[in-house]
Amino acid sequence: MIKNDLLLKALRGETVERPPVWMMRQAGRYLPDFMKLKEKYDFFTRCRTPELATEITVMPIRQVGPDAAILFSDILVIPQAMNIEVEMKPGVGPWLPNPVRTMEGVNQVNVPDVHEELQYVFDAIRMTKKELNDEVPLIGFAGSPWTILCYTVQGQGSKNFDLAKKFCFSNPEAAHILLQKITDTTIAYLKAKVQAGVDVVQLFDSWGGMLSPVDYQTFSWQYMQQIIDALKDEVPVIAYGKGCWFALKEMSESGAAALGVDWTCSARNARYLSGGRITLQGNFDPARLYSSPSDIRKMVNQMINEFGKDAYIANLGHGILPDIPVENARAFVDAVKEYRPA
């Protein structure tokens, strides 16, 4: 039995004393101890070494105190497993030297045996579960097929992913074959993560908001729905789409246990658009963690009052920024833990 099961209760829609709290990207770059490991080991070495991934995953639990751990990994281990080269370049971020932009390229993309290609992730989950000793739940994650396609076609990060959109709109047949391959791989990957011991999974559609509402349904949501359908009876699924407020109604009817909300969508609109029944997660502006700890506490209280303490998970609206002071991250978490309804 997990000792602190607040997150699981919130995902089931149960009444809680206070909302659970965790932060996207909490296992990482804002922590001084993480930066020490970064100086010794490159990015994918940290991802591929179960001992390092475990240490990084547990670090914020010990130092900041959230109600859940999220496995240290990266969404781009999926294309790596699919025969697509991915590097992490200093100062650039993800770099794919051979982007996929033709049907011929799509045909060279594999749907792998995830146990052969990604066993290091499952080993890290088992090791992390042992280290956590049932203190808090462990979250596993994957990128949405659309978000993975964005990097796979663009070849790097982008402000508008114009090449990815051009590929989808000019060669939709190839785009849908690629999206389906990513979807099939992601389902197998997440099922294996559940078998290894994760308690919750989150799908990150970081670039869904780049698409119009119609194109979102065509090139992103239908593939997200396949993944949710495949996983929802085994594990709670959190669906997070950055900039995807326009799809909250469809998302709320998907079978997902909760929906992530970014900071551009108010609590009131999120509750309205999602029908007022499903658990919501978010929506604190990550940049607001630059505010003073006292201001952070006030804003957190206001955020929880607006969402309501039940059917709600306190979180940021996107990943924590790298230069946030640890004391500010702790102030965010503590403010949620100290929250009591008026």
- Tell me, what CATH number does 223's domain have? 3.20.20.210
Average pLDDT, the chain: 97
**Domain, as residue range, for 328:** 6-337
At residue 213, the pLDDT reads: 98
**Vertex 55 angle, CA 51 and 58, to 5°:** 135
Which tens digits make up the pLDDT trace of 265-291? 999 999 999 999 899 999 999 999 999
**Cβ pair 153, 194 in contact under 8 A:** no
Q: Is the pLDDT of residue 342 over 80?
A: no
- pLDDT band for position 67 (50/70/90)? very high
Summarize the annotated binding site as residue ranges.
Answer: 25-29, 44, 74, 151, 206, 318
* Amino acid type, 165: K
Is residue 221 a part of any domain in this protein? Answer: yes
Q: Is the pLDDT of residue 217 over 80?
A: yes
At residue 130, the pLDDT reads: 98
The pLDDT of 309-330, averaged and rounded, is: 98
The pLDDT of 199-222, averaged and rounded, is: 98
Summarize the annotated binding site for substrate as residue ranges.
Answer: 25-29, 44, 74, 151, 206, 318
Is residue 19 a part of any domain in this protein? Answer: yes
Is residue 192 a part of any domain in this protein? Answer: yes
Q: Is 281 left (phi over 0), alpha (psi -120 to 50) or beta?
A: beta
What is the total count of domains within the chain? 1
Q: Is the pLDDT of residue 302 over 90?
A: yes
Question: DSSP secondary structure string, 18-74?
Answer: S--B--TT-SSTTSHHHHHHHHHS-HHHHHH-HHHHHHHHHHHHHHT--S-EE----
- The single-letter DSSP state of residue 141 is E
The pLDDT of 163-168, averaged and rounded, is: 98
- pLDDT band for position 203 (50/70/90)? very high
At residue 91, the pLDDT reads: 87
Is residue 321 a part of any domain in this protein? Answer: yes
At residue 341, the pLDDT reads: 87
Please state whether the peptide bond connecting residue 283 to the residue before it is cis, i.e. omega within 30 degrees of 0. yes
Residue among 26, 54, 19, 10 at smallest CA distance from 196: 54
At residue 90, the pLDDT reads: 87
- pLDDT band for position 264 (50/70/90)? very high
- Note the residue count of the chain: 342
Is residue 1 a part of any domain in this protein? Answer: no
Which residues face 239 on adjacent strands? 203, 259
Q: Is the pLDDT of residue 309 over 90?
A: yes
What predicted TM-score, i.e. pTM, was given to this entire model?
0.97
Is residue 275 a part of any domain in this protein? Answer: yes
**Vertex 195 angle, CA 189 and 200, to 5°:** 80
Q: Is the pLDDT of residue 2 over 80?
A: yes
Is residue 309 a part of any domain in this protein? Answer: yes
Is residue 342 a part of any domain in this protein? Answer: no
